[in-house]
Amino acid sequence: MTDPPPSAKTPSRLARLRRRLSGAAALGAVLIVVGVGYTAAASAGTPGGARAATQPQDSVEVRKGRHLYEEGCITCHGMILQGVQNRGPSLIGVGQAAVYFQVITGRMPVARQEAQASRKQPKYTPEEVDQIAAYVQSVGGGPVIPGGNLRDGDLAEGGELFRINCASCHNFAGRGGALSAGKRAPELTPATDKELYGAMLSGPQNMPVFGENQITPEQKRAIINYVQTLKQTKDPGGSGIGRLGPVPEGLVIWIVGIGALILTILWIGAKS
């Protein structure tokens, strides 16, 4: 019983060491949790801020897209897609659908500020459009145009959906029409399947948005099938006169038809 100290000393040193180690481990764990949590919170709070600098895990497409964005879009849509007052809206959350539609149809970049951006020769190649869209999607997220065949829907259902949702602005034959204050619904003639899908999904400019829960993907494909079929069909009465309906038809009858009659009458009168 005279040498308990060493035997007692050894366990007490071991216990101290163990306490220190566990303390360090706890501190480390807390630090890791706080660090990870802070990073997550920071990236959730300011998505653009955290992702504006290209991350090493970003794909080549996104990096190229970011490059193109910083060359052509940043002036109006801002460093982190937040938008610039009186120049361009925020692109956070608009998604690949909106970017694809706006850039592939040449509406973006706009030439000038006016009532509405018009379709024109696109500034970017399809690959570049996909790269910009991938970049905007990677930063802000949002709806994405699905791949595959976008035209395999039911034709009759597409027609019914088109007439109730689209025809009021785009005309029953997809030829577009006027809106207020210089704005207009464009004609659908030059639109591709993917552009039609993107337009419905993103609601460009003053067009209402038709989300995937309001008009399901199957219904959207049906509408696209109907629109593209409508464009291919020929006019059974000869000339469609722009397919704008009774107004141009009446105009042609009155000006061309009655005009020809009057000229004939004048000619007969001059002959005798």
Q: Which of 238, 246, 269, 270 is the binder for other proteins (CB under 8 A)? A: 238
β 177-178/184-185 pair status: antiparallel
Look-up: residue for tokens 């689209």? Answer: 166
Q: Give the shortest CB-93-to-other proteins separation in angstroms.
A: 10
Residue span binding other proteins (CB under 8 A) among the ranges 6-14, 17-25, 61-69, 236-244: 236-244
Cα 103 to the center of its chain, rounded Å? 9
The distance of closest approach from Cβ of residue 123 to other proteins in the complex, given in angstroms and rounded to an integer, is 23
List the helix and strand counts (H, then E) for the chain: 12, 2
Cis peptide before 109 (omega within 30 of 0): yes
Q: With respect to other proteins, which residue has the nearer C-beta, 68 or 161?
A: 161
Q: 136 or 222: whose CB is closer to other proteins? A: 222
Instruction: Quickly list H helices, 108-257.
Output: 126-140, 155-165, 167-170, 193-202, 217-232, 246-252
What is the Cα–Cα distance from 91 to 199, expressed in whole angstroms? 15
Q: Of 134, 15, 132, which Cα lies nearest the Cα of 70?
A: 132
- Contacts with other proteins: how many residues (CB under 8 A)? 30
To the nearest whole angstrom, how small is the minimum distance from the Cβ of residue 18 to other proteins? 54
Quote the longest CA-to-CA distance of the chain.
154
Nearer to other proteins, 170 or 194 (CB): 170
Residue with Cβ nearer other proteins (55 or 239) = 239
236 part of the interface to other proteins, by CB under 8 A: yes
**For other proteins, which residue of 195, 210, 224, 226 counts as binding (CB under 8 A)?**
210
* Shortest distance in whole angstroms from residue 195 CB to other proteins: 18
Per-residue contact string for residues 187-206; x = within reach of other proteins by CB under 8 A: ----------------x-xx
CB-based contacts of 73: which residues, under 8 Å, 6+ apart? 88, 91, 108, 109, 132
Residues that bind other proteins (CB under 8 A): 160-161, 164-165, 168-169, 177, 179-181, 183, 185, 203, 205-211, 213-214, 229, 232-238
